[in-house]
Amino acid sequence: MTIQFNEETFRDDYSFRNSAWAIKRFPFPFHEDSYMYSVNMEQHRGGPEGSVYEKRFDLDEHYLSEMQDRALVLAEDPLRCQSLPHMTLAGWDTLELIMVSKSEDYPDLFQLHRDGDRWRWVNKPMGIDHSFTFLDETTLPCGPLEYITRQTQGDFAVLDQRDDMLWMDAGMVTTQADWSLDFDIGMNFFEWHAPVPLAHEMGIFKRALKFLLNVQQGAPARRLNWTMTVNPLLDTSPENYHKWGIQKTTLTPENIGAKQHLRVELQTFFRLPRSNALLFPIRCYLIAFQDIVTVPKWGRRLHRVVRDLPEELATYKGFIDNRPMMLDYLSEYDDGLPTSPGV
Ligand code: HEM
């Protein structure tokens, strides 16, 4: 289908909206009426037509506005994109994976012409037509990771793999759920996950790491994660907590349907060919409560999940104070009927 790109903002007047199409394909993350952390990994080899799982890197109506928001964040804070010196090759691997995937998956929007190491990249929505030499940084306006992730929705962590461990040694992180690349850069898998409650004791990170160390080239994996955000903010970083944290106190019973958003991350895992690094794209999808409840099963289920979520998780995800108001709103959409398993 042809995508109509929205003109919208994720700050100031918050004009972000989901079309009926975007609501229909929203990756609602709850398969049952309760939620607990698990090693919820599956293969990322396509999915139903039109779904966010269909392509390797999903593109939707928010593409151009998300790229504008990223440019604003980077102009204020260039440290949102970092790459330790040994990660440049992984940056080229990332550029290649994204350019090849997008030009194959969206040929009407992106084209890649390759003649040996002389490449020409055409990104029609962003009006880019650029010729460069693959693996020669001097032919790009910035490093390869920054270049391609300024043109691709979602955050990106690039993990070096050595000593049977993953290290966060590069990334582009402007749409994150309250964590910081600048703080985590150089940390390993257990260190950057240290703040997460309960999951360490459940053995989740040990099992997840084992899985990730074995992800093979051409066999990507994926999982969903979720949290809550007041106002459709992409940049909920610790660096800008002073700007967005306070907004959590502006919820009222009258505005909660429009202001409270469920934030879902489609996380994927790709092994990169030359560097053997692991690419971890984290794609953020936002949806207002008032749009969720247009799907009766989702409204019912979200009420039950939020109601029964362990206190540690509601605290970590930052909505413990607003939980009672959320439940008042959502309970109106829960008729007590059983829900069938699956989304
Ligand atoms: C949270 C990174 C893979 C489970 C986080 C956080 C980061 C992160 C930065 C936020 C921690 C904080 O509060 O500062 C990554 C990276 C991964 C990865 C770079 C890829 C290598 C996984 C996998 C699992 C997982 C495979 C599987 C179970 C979690 C959970 C949380 C978390 C449960 C808490 C999320 C929440 O409650 O909202 N991760 N992660 N992560 N991660 Fe990962």
From the centroid of its chain, how far is CA 113?
28
Q: List the residue whose alpha carbon is closest to atom 22 of ligand 1.
A: 208
Q: Under a CB-based contact definition with an 8 Å cutoff, are residues 125 and 76 in contact?
A: no
pLDDT of residue 106: 98
* Mean pLDDT confidence for 278-286: 98
pLDDT of residue 341: 83
In angstroms, the CA 235 to CA 272 distance is: 27
Residues 19-68 have pLDDT tens digits of 999 999 999 999 999 999 999 999 999 989 999 999 999 999 999 999 99
Q: Ligand 1 mean position to 111 CA, how many Å?
A: 33
In angstroms, the CA 304 to CA 33 distance is: 6
* Helix ranges (DSSP H) in 171-228: 181-184, 189-192, 204-213
pLDDT of residue 262: 99
pLDDT of residue 342: 84
Residue 213 pLDDT exceeds 70 = yes
- Which among 163, 234, 329 has a CA at the least distance from the CA of 9? 234
**H/E element, 228:** strand 221-230
Strand partners, 177: 236
Q: Give yes or no for residue 199 CB within 6 A of ligand 1.
A: yes
pLDDT of residue 339: 87
The proportion of the chain whose per-residue pLDDT surpasses 90, expressed as a percent, equals 97
Positive or negative, the Cα torsion across 85, 87, 93, 97? negative
CA dist list (Å): 20 to 24, 61, 67: 6, 11, 22
Residue 1 pLDDT exceeds 70 = no
Which atom of ligand 1 is least distant from the CA of 195? 13
For residue 296, what pLDDT band results from cuts at 50, 70 and 90?
very high
pLDDT of residue 2: 87
Residues 75-100 have pLDDT tens digits of 999 999 999 999 999 999 999 999 99
Q: Give yes or no for residue 37 CB within 6 A of ligand 1.
A: yes
CA dist list (Å): 259 to 35, 225, 244, 262: 23, 20, 13, 10
Q: Ligand 1 mean position to 7 CA, how many Å?
A: 31
> In a 3-state reduction of DSSP, which class is residue 3?
coil
- Which among 243, 230, 238 has a CA at the least distance from the CA of 323? 230
Q: Ligand 1 mean position to 57 CA, how many Å?
A: 20
pLDDT of residue 126: 98
- Which among 321, 289, 291, 317 has a CA at the least distance from the CA of 303? 289
What mean pLDDT value characterizes the chain? 97
Tokens 């139903």 correspond to 48
* Mean pLDDT confidence for 293-309: 98
Q: Give yes or no for residue 132 CB within 6 A of ligand 1.
A: no
Q: Give yes or no for residue 39 CB within 6 A of ligand 1.
A: yes
CA dist list (Å): 200 to 175, 208, 270, 310: 25, 11, 24, 15
pLDDT of residue 340: 84
Question: Which residue type sits at 141?
Answer: P
Ordered strands of the 221-230 beta sheet? 42-43, 221-230, 260-271, 278-288, 155-162, 165-172, 81-83
* Mean pLDDT confidence for 117-145: 98
- Which among 84, 83, 28 has a CA at the least distance from the CA of 52? 28
- Which among 7, 115, 130 has a CA at the least distance from the CA of 62? 7
In angstroms, the CA 163 to CA 210 distance is: 12
Any residues with CB less than 8 A from the CB of 265 and at least 6 apart, and which? 177, 224, 225, 226, 282, 283, 284, 285
